[in-house]
Amino acid sequence: MSNFHSSSEESSSVLQIWGKTPLSGHVNISGAKNAALVVIAGALLCSQDCRIRNVPLLADVTRMGELLSALGVKFQQHGDVLDIDATHISHSKAPYELVSQLRASFFVIGPLLARLGVARVPLPGGCSIGARPVDLHVRGLQAMGANVQIDHGIVHAYVTGANKRLKGAKIYLDYPSVGATETLMMAATLAEGETTIENAAQEPEVADLANFCRAMGAKIRGAGTNTIVISGVPSLHTTDYSIIPDRIEAGTFLMAGAITRSEITLSPIIPDHLTAILSKMQEIGIRTVMESPNRMRILPKQRYRSTDIETLPYPGFPTDVQAPFMSLLTLAEGDSVISETVFENRLGHVPELNRMGADIRVKGNHAIVRGVPMLSGAPVVGTDLRASAALVVAALAAEGKTTLQGLQHLDRGYEHLELKLQKLGAKLQRVQEDTTTEPIPISVDSPISST
Ligand code: EPU
């Protein structure tokens, strides 16, 4: 079965969504994209083979696999299981074509440097949500003894000395960057001596990476807090590891349930990972109950209150759920203020939501959302992954048909989104851009089609 739609299909396809259909039933939450991508890079640390389970079938995972293959590593994908054998790494240079398509591919710099004493990785560049520099990654690696030169857009990092090993260091991050914490933690697993990362990111994906590294024999403590201590070991061994559930996908489906006033259930989830989202849901009047330790039911209401949200590093409100939550607040009673503090350009969904009848004004990094009684379907364009998810959420509650363009973003981050929504009873279909047909009923048992 094809795991996602090819890039030519993505660019010429649109998602048609007919709103105001109540949802019901259960949705299975996939493995976390952002944990899987970094764990795949982390497998480069292992001088034996590794098995990684519960990996979502996403375009970004396939690209990460292509990158590992380009480094001479054996990479095989069977459904949600990956087999990676990095016993031999034959190249230390990551190809620009792959890094430029996927920022997470910059993560290979830490493991390559730790394993080979050399890494050449192109600067990933900015993307639609912000400039996204890698200065914190680079400064941390330098503190661990790496020489780093940036020439013609390529970061060339190498370690001198007889054993070419990085040295443990005390590193303070100016900002608790998820990516920099992950890069430095991976690099430190094979360094000589002890590394301390202070003001580290506390995201569950960082803790998942640490657990994966520990399963391979790394000595890491404190992951999931703001101080991580890593005692370097000479090598890491084989493991069989399962990725945590995707808290951002869960958050997106909670928004889909809330906006359509539907009592859906979700599993598997780790409720502790959703605390900030659940707290804001409660503030506006939505309750959830745990039916079992990893299965949640959402208890929506007909009317919601407004609230204010500020995105922050974990355990604060996640920037990745800011856009879908904004869709929900467009239909709440009163004014909400949403402040995006993590990325400088993550309000691309605002003009598109306004095209659907929302009343949102942007001032700097703040969006002032004035609740409206209804949204109406319109042609809209997703500018990034979470903006696209927000438009899908809004479309589910809108009167009439929404046509969403820019599906390449959705396919990067949500596994089988259409199929999962169809199973819940939503009316949507992916079609070639000029097709205007009514929805074709799709059997929930049929594999996802690339229409
Ligand atoms: N930053 C720097 N210098 C650095 C690194 C980061 O200034 O060296 C800044 C960034 O520009 C940004 C802020 O720090 O303004 C936060 O960036 P961070 O490094 O924490 O994020 P990231 O590692 O680039 C990951 C996720 C993002 C998620 C953020 C925040 C992956 C592959 N990506 O990005 O996920 O939004 O953490 O939680 O793990 C998504 O899934 O849609 C997505 C964008």
Amino acid, single-letter form, for residue 199:
N
Amino acid, single-letter form, for residue 216:
M
Which pLDDT value is given to residue 440? 45
Percent of the chain exceeding pLDDT 90 equals 87
Which pLDDT value is given to residue 441? 44
Closest by Cα among 283, 331, 288 to 308: 283
Q: What is the pLDDT of residues 29-38, one digit of tens each?
A: 999 999 999 9
Contact indicator for 83, 51 with CB cutoff of 8 Å: yes
What are 230's strand-pairing partners?
195, 220
Which protein residue has the closest C-alpha to ligand 1 atom 43? 320
Which pLDDT value is given to residue 7? 52
Which protein residue has the closest C-alpha to ligand 1 atom 37? 178
Residue to substitute in 127, 142, 172, 178 for testing ligand 1 pocket (most ligand atoms within 8 angstroms of CB): 178
Record the tokens describing residue 63, joined without a space. 């690209």
Query: In the structure, how many helices (H) and strands (E) does the chain have?
Result: 15, 23
Which pLDDT value is given to residue 446? 33
pLDDT at 9 over 80: no
Question: Quick check: helix, strand or coil at residue 444?
Answer: coil
Q: What is the mean pLDDT of the chain?
A: 93
Radius of gyration of the CA atoms of the chain, in A: 22
Record the tokens describing residue 296, joined without a space. 């949640």
pLDDT at 354 over 80: yes
Sheet holding 154-158, edge to edge: 118-122, 154-158, 147-151
pLDDT at 197 over 90: yes
Q: What are the distances in angstroms from CA 141 to CA 16, 146, 149?
A: 46, 6, 12
- Tell me the average pLDDT across 380-389: 96
H-type alpha helices, 76-172: 96-99, 109-116, 135-143
What are 432's strand-pairing partners?
13
Which protein residue has the closest C-alpha to ligand 1 atom 29? 178
Amino acid, single-letter form, for residue 371:
G
Count of CB atoms within 10 A of residue 224's CB? 17
Residue with the bigger pLDDT between 305 and 101: it is 305
Angle at 86 between CA 83 and CA 89, to 5 degrees: 145
**Which atom of ligand 1 sits closest to the CA of residue 134?**
8
pLDDT at 246 over 60: yes
- Listed in sequence order, the residues at least 6 apart from 76 whose beta carbon sits closer than 8 Å to its beta carbon are 82, 83, 84
Which pLDDT value is given to residue 132? 86
Q: How many whole angstroms separate alpha carbon 237 and alpha carbon 163?
A: 20
Amino acid, single-letter form, for residue 443:
S
Q: How many whole angstroms separate alpha carbon 425 and alpha carbon 98?
A: 37
Residue to substitute in 30, 34, 40, 417 for testing ligand 1 pocket (most ligand atoms within 8 angstroms of CB): 34
Q: Which residues line ligand 1 at a C-beta cut-off of 6 Å?
A: 34, 37, 104, 130-137, 175, 177-180, 201, 203, 319-320, 342-343, 385-386, 413
Closest by Cα among 34, 100, 65 to 413: 34
Q: How many whole angstroms separate alpha carbon 304 and alpha carbon 74?
A: 51
Maximum Cα–Cα distance across the chain: 69
Q: How many whole angstroms separate alpha carbon 281 and alpha carbon 62?
A: 34
- Grade residue 293 by pLDDT with cuts at 50, 70 and 90: very high
**β-strands 26-28, 265-267 pairing:** parallel
Residue 8 DSSP one-character state:
H
**Which atom of ligand 1 sits closest to the CA of residue 138?**
8
Q: How many whole angstroms separate alpha carbon 53 and alpha carbon 240?
A: 8
Contact indicator for 119, 103 with CB cutoff of 8 Å: no
Residue with the bigger pLDDT between 451 and 49: it is 49
Q: What is the pLDDT of residues 206-218, one digit of tens each?
A: 999 999 999 999 9
Record the tokens describing residue 394, joined without a space. 């809004």
**β-strands 335-339, 309-310 pairing:** parallel
Percent of the chain exceeding pLDDT 70 equals 93
Q: Is the pTM of this model over 0.85?
A: yes
Q: What is the pLDDT of residues 47-90, one digit of tens each?
A: 999 999 999 999 999 999 999 999 999 999 999 999 999 999 99
- Grade residue 310 by pLDDT with cuts at 50, 70 and 90: very high
Q: What is the whole-number distance in angstroms between the Cα of residue 189 and the centre of ligand 1?
A: 22
Is residue 127 part of the annotated active site? The answer reads yes
Residue with tokens 């990956």: 82
**β-strands 154-158, 194-198 pairing:** unpaired
Record the tokens describing residue 30, joined without a space. 């996939």
Q: 364 — phi, psi (to 5°)?
A: 60, -125
pLDDT at 269 over 60: yes
**Which atom of ligand 1 sits closest to the CA of residue 182?**
23
Which pLDDT value is given to residue 162? 83
- Grade residue 130 by pLDDT with cuts at 50, 70 and 90: confident
**β-strands 379-381, 401-405 pairing:** parallel
Which pLDDT value is given to residue 71? 97
- Tell me the average pLDDT across 230-252: 98
Which pLDDT value is given to residue 2? 40
Q: How many whole angstroms separate alpha carbon 429 and alpha carbon 409?
A: 16
Which pLDDT value is given to residue 332? 98
Q: What is the whole-number distance in angstroms between the Cα of residue 313 and the centre of ligand 1?
A: 10
**Which atom of ligand 1 sits closest to the CA of residue 319?**
36
Q: What is the whole-number distance in angstroms between the Cα of residue 129 and the centre of ligand 1?
A: 10
- Tell me the average pLDDT across 414-434: 94
